Amino acid sequence: MSDTYDDQNIFAKILRGEIPSFKVYEDDDTLCFMDIMPRTEGHCLVIPKTPCRNILDATPEQLAACMKTVNTVANAAKRAFDADGITLFQFNEGAGGQEVFHLHFHIHPRHDGVAIRPPGKMGDMDQIKANAAKIVAELPA
C-alpha cells in the first residue's frame, strides 16, 4: 500500500466534476457534500480542494480551512435537523478506518438516544438530496 496521494480517489473525481455529488457548501479552499452511505440523517463530508491524503500529510492551512467549513456546516446541520449535538469523525489510513484517501471530516447531526447507524449501506438518493437542501437552507447568507 502506498502512502502517497492518488489523484484517482473518488473525492478527487468529485472535485474535478467527473462524478456527481450533492453539494452543501463550497468556498475557495473547501467543499462539503453529502455522504451517499449516510450513517445519520444529514451525514456530510468536508474536504480540502487541494490534495492531501489525511491528517498525517495535511498542512496547517488545509486543516484550518476544513475546520472553518466544519464549524459553518455543523451549525447549519444542527439547525436543519433540530439536532441535540454533532459528532465529527475523521479516519486515517486503513488501520484507522479510512477508505477514501483524500482528507475528509464526517459531520453527523445527533439526537439524544439515537445511535449512529453501521457503515456501508447506500442511502436513498432523493432523501439525501432533500437533506442537502435542508442544510443549505440553514447556511449563513
- The separation between CA 6 and the C-alpha centre of its own chain, rounded to angstroms, equals 19
Sequential DSSP letters for 101-132 = -S--EEEEEE-TT-PPPPS--PPPHHHHHHHH
Contact flag: residue 40 with ligand AMP (CB under 6 A): no
Q: Is 36 or 67 the residue whose CB approaches ligand AMP more closely? A: 36
The contact mask relative to ligand AMP for 42-81 (x = CB under 6 A, - = no) is ----------------------------------------
Residue from 9, 29, 36, 116 touching ligand AMP (CB under 6 A): that is 36
The residue to which cell 479552499 is assigned? 29
| Burial (CB count within 10 angstroms: exposed 0-12, middle 13-18, buried 19+), residue 83 | buried
Strands (E), the chain: 23-26, 30-34, 44-48, 85-89, 105-110
Region binding ligand AMP by CB under 6 A among candidate stretches 29-37, 63-71, 73-81, 129-137: 29-37
Q: Which of residues 78-137 bind ligand AMP (CB under 6 A)?
A: 91, 97-100, 104
Residues with a known catalytic role: 104
User: What is the smallest separation between the CB atom of 6 and ligand AMP, expressed in angstroms?
Assistant: 13
Neighbours of 71 (CB within 10 A): 11
Residue nearer to ligand AMP on the CB measure, 33 or 81: 33
Write out the residues near ligand AMP by the rule CB under 6 A.
10, 21, 35-37, 91, 97-100, 104
